[in-house]
Homo-oligomer: A and B are copies of this chain.
C-alpha cells in the first residue's frame, strides 16, 4: 500500500490506473469494523482500491469536535494495508483547501432535517470534500455506511442530480455484540455511558415495532424518545421518522421509513438509525 499526501501524486497514480475499476472509501480515519466492511466490499468489487483519511474541517461547526476528533494514522495504516487497500490518501487541510474560492455547494432542504438542525453547514462541508475527492479519485464505485443515513441520502441525491460518474454502494451498519453502532466517537464515552449507549438502538427498534403495531408515528416516536430518556444520561437531540432516501414526512405512500436518532453524551454526540 502506498500512502499519498499530495494531490499531484494522487492525480498521477489515478492517471496510471484509468483502465481499472476503482473502488473508493472516503473516511475521517480512526478506522473501526464499520470502515473495514466498506474496505472489504471495495476490495471484492474493484481492481484498484483507494481509501482516504481526512478529518475535513469544512464539515465541522465552530463549537464541534474537530480538534479532538480521534486520530491514529499508524493503526489506520496497518488496518488499511491488511484490508488490501492500494492507495491511502492522507492530505493535510492546506493541501485540500489551498485557497477559498467563495464558490459553495448548498444542500438546501435535505440538510434541514435530522442532524442538519444541530449541525448547520455540516452537509455542505461534506459535499464540498466529496466533490473534490470524487473528482480526484474518479472512482467507479464509492462506499458509504448506512450508519450515516442522512449523509448517504444527500450524497446519493447529489450524485444523481449532478450526474457524477460513480456508483454509490450502501453498506449496512456494523454493530458491537450488544447492538451499539460502531463509531469513531464511541471512544469518548465514559464506562457508564458506553453501557447506556446500547439503548439508542433499542429505542429505534422499539419505535419501529410500535409503528408496525399501531401505525401511529407520534406514539412510536414518543416511545422511542422515552426509552432513551429513561435509560441513559444522554440528551436526545432528535428521534425522528422520515421517508428514505428523500427525507420527507411519512405518508401512506412511503415505502422505506428511516427511524433515526442523535443523542448528546458528555463528550460525544452519537447517531444511529434503522430502516423499515
Chain copies in complex: 2
**Per-position binary interface string of chain A over residues 162-174, scored 1 when its CB falls under 8 Å from any chain B CB and 0 otherwise:** 1111000000000
**Per-position binary interface string of chain A over residues 102-122, scored 1 when its CB falls under 8 Å from any chain B CB and 0 otherwise:** 111111111000000000000
Q: A108 vs B103: C-alpha distance in the bound complex, in angstroms? A: 6
Q: A233 vs B108: C-alpha distance in the bound complex, in angstroms? A: 43
User: Which parts of A94-149 form the interface with B (CB within 8 Å)?
Assistant: 99, 101-110, 127-128, 131-132, 135-136, 138
Which residues of A are interface residues toward B (Cβ below 8 A)?
A: 7, 11, 18-19, 99, 101-110, 127-128, 131-132, 135-136, 138, 154, 157-158, 160-165
**Could you say which residues of chain B place their CB within 8 Å of the CB of A99?**
161
In the complex formed, the residue of B with least CB distance to A14 is B165
Contact A103 B163 (CB under 8 A): no
Determine chain A's interface SS by DSSP, over half rule: helix
- 5 closest pairs, A vs B, by CB? A102-B108, A101-B161, A102-B109, A135-B163, A132-B163
Q: A251 vs B127: C-alpha distance in the bound complex, in angstroms? A: 35
In the complex formed, the residue of B with least CB distance to A164 is B135
Closest chain B CB from A28 CB (angstroms): 19
**Could you say which residues of chain B place their CB within 8 Å of the CB of A105?**
103-106
Partner among B19, B107, B136, B165 whose Cβ is within 8 Å of the Cβ of A103: B107
In the complex formed, the residue of B with least CB distance to A136 is B163
**Could you say which residues of chain B place their CB within 8 Å of the CB of A135?**
162-165
